[in-house]
Chains A and B, each alone.
Chain A
Amino acid sequence: MDQSEIRAKIFEIIGVYAKDKDALASATDDTNILQDLKVNSARLVDVILDFEDAFDIEVEDEDADNVNTIGDAVSLIAAKI
């Protein structure tokens, strides 16, 4: 799975939780998941669980804490699959 495929899957997952759908439509790797997409901070846990299911990986809490942007998520997942 290349990075663009990973990115597409991430958008699909985060799309469920993003309150700002316009920001989601124009999101880049620099887009901050909580601040720019208005994802409720408590839901980051669910986003990570969805990553685990979608990519068949396990994400440690310390790694999850470092996911702030779309790019962070892409790098994390690319390194684990």
Chain B
Amino acid sequence: MNRRVVITGMGVVAPNGNGLEAYEAALRAGVSGIRHIPLLQELKFGCTVAGVPPDAGALAGTYFDEDDLLAMNSNQRFGCIAAVDAWTDAGFERPEHGDDHVYWEAGAVIGTGVGGLDTAGEKLVPMTDAGRVRRMGSTIVEQIMGSGVSARVSGMLALGNQVTSNSSACSTGAEAIVGGYERIKNGLADRMLCGGSEGSSHYIWAGFDAMRVLARKFNDEPEKASRPLSATAAGFIPGSGAAILHLESLENAEQRGARIYAELLGGSLNCGGHRQGGSMTAPNQTSVRRCIREAVANAGIASDEIDAINGHLTATVADPREVASWAAALECTPETLPLITSTKSMIGHGLGAAGAMESVACLLMLQGGFVHPSINCEDVHPEIEPYAASIPQQVVETPELRTIIKAGFGFGDVNVCVVFRKWSD
């Protein structure tokens, strides 16, 4: 089977806005969601700023029962809010308690990069070490298991198709979208909730801080700290949140008269094998270029049909190499490179959620006819300077925007690339 796959619903919980409306407004206006986190300073982190969805705790209280919340860490709260929103945005009612119907045709691929380390750090490890396992309660496993978010979502929404969680570091969120796309394309499911989530926890961020890959020079100016494409970029800013897309077969969406945001034309996944300059932490640029080219080929389009690029672009030394790879893979000169932007400039690096939050940004841009600014790169990196005209410093209104490409590159030398096209009847 080779069914067409469309996006009919979205949900997002992001550092600069919860919900589609707030997120789009923040993206358009170039609003940073990066804030000072006092605990990080207290604990002597080098980077003391991060991206945390605002008031997500109170928001969760309006979505979930007290009983559910006792067993939901931040990762699950973000992921479940985004999933419920995507489901209702697609036109489905949230099942009530006691409703025994199972949606056999609907599943989920919802990934996490690191997972429930807040639960491990706050409860599992200290209670185990103190000999208090008996007092730990029943809620630990479901919060720390790799599939914690997808498992929780499947119960909330009565999903009966494949329900799983993927993990591929910073490419997780977009990889999940490819996973669901393939399942629908092959006729194994009609609808899939796909995306990623990552909790807000100093335990998640500590290892990155220890690696010296987080920016340390902008702690006093949080909103300027995430600086992809900039000459003064010196590491990424940790982020958190979640985003979920409701993917659906075109056939199913048309049959039920669903509102269609865009078509997922195609995608690609690969790995650089930690060779040719690639490593656990650095991407093999040959594999990056292959991944982009394969996504374009899989989408069945010519590379010059791409109107905009939402890069991985984290604000590390990899940014100049990434821009060069986009140009090479799409066979562009500095003059012909499409607009290229980094959502991370506003929300930081959402790790396992990044690819999903940034895909929602792509879909909102297609829907709204704009390309959001890539903030904090007024001092474009010298090696990227030839491409400076393609980097929006302010929002660019692009009513003709039709096709956008999104990539993610993760630790482990893994890559993902997806191509979205605005839906027009």
A: which residues have CB within 8 A of B? 16-20, 38, 40, 42-46, 49
B67 touches A (CB below 8 Å): yes
Q: How far is the CA of A38 from the CA of B96 in the complex (A)?
A: 13
Size bracket of the B interface: 10 to 19
Kindly report which residue of chain B lies nearest to residue A15, judged by CB atoms: B66
Q: Which residue of B lies closest to A47 (CB)?
A: B138
Cα–Cα, bound, A46→B68 (Å): 13
Pick the 6 closest A-B CB pairs, nearest first.
Answer: A45-B138, A42-B138, A46-B137, A17-B67, A19-B97, A16-B66
The main secondary structure of chain B at its interface with chain A is: loop
Residues of B within 8 A of A20 (CB): 97-98
Residues on the A chain within 8 Å of B97, using CB = 19-20, 38
Task: Please name the residue on chain A nearest to B69 by beta carbon.
Answer: A16
CA distance A39 to B137 in the complex (A): 15
Are B139 and A46 neighbours in the complex by a CB distance under 8 Å?
yes
A38 to B137, CA, bound (A): 18
Is B122 at the interface (CB under 8 A from chain A)? no
A contact patch SS: helix
CB-based nearest B residue for A39: B67
Q: Which of A19, A38, A46 contacts B70 (CB 8 A)?
A: A46
Complex CA gap A27/B29 in Å reads 54
Q: How far is the CA of A42 from the CA of B70 in the complex (A)?
A: 13
Residues of A near B425 (CB, < 8 A) are none
For the complex formed, measure the closest distance between the CB of A19 and the CB atoms of chain B, giving whole angstroms: 5
A46, closest chain B residue (CB): B137
B44 at the interface (CB under 8 A from A): no
CB neighbours of B66 from chain A (8 A): 16
CB distance from A44 to the nearest CB of B (A): 8
CB distance from A11 to the nearest CB of B (A): 14
Chain A residue contacts of B129, Cβ below 8 A: none
Cα distance A45–B141 in the bound complex, in angstroms: 13
**Cα distance A42–B65 when bound, in Å?**
16
The complex places the Cα of A16 from the Cα of B69 at a distance, in Å, of 10
In the bound complex, CA of A55 to CA of B66 (Å): 22
Residues of A within 8 A of B65 (CB): 19
How long is the Cα–Cα vector from A18 to B98 in the complex, in angstroms?
12
List A contacts of B137 (CB < 8 A): 45-46, 49
Q: Mark B114-155, 1 if CB is under 8 A from A, else 0.
A: 000000000000000000000101110000000000000000
Q: Which residues of chain B are near A38, meaning CB under 8 Å?
A: 97-98
Which chain B residues lie closer than 8 Å to A42 at the CB level? 138
| B98 partner residues in chain A, CB cutoff 8 A | 19-20, 38
The chain A residue sitting closest to B66, CB to CB, is A16
In the docked arrangement, what's the CA distance between A16 and B67, Å?
6
Across-interface contacts of A17 in B (CB, < 8 A): 67
Interface string of B382-412 (1 = CB under 8 A from A): 0000000000000000000000000000000
Q: Name 26 A/B residue pairs within 8 A (Cβ), A-sorted.
A: A16-B66, A16-B67, A16-B70, A17-B67, A18-B67, A19-B65, A19-B67, A19-B97, A19-B98, A20-B97, A20-B98, A38-B97, A38-B98, A40-B67, A42-B138, A43-B67, A43-B138, A44-B138, A45-B137, A45-B138, A46-B70, A46-B137, A46-B138, A46-B139, A49-B135, A49-B137
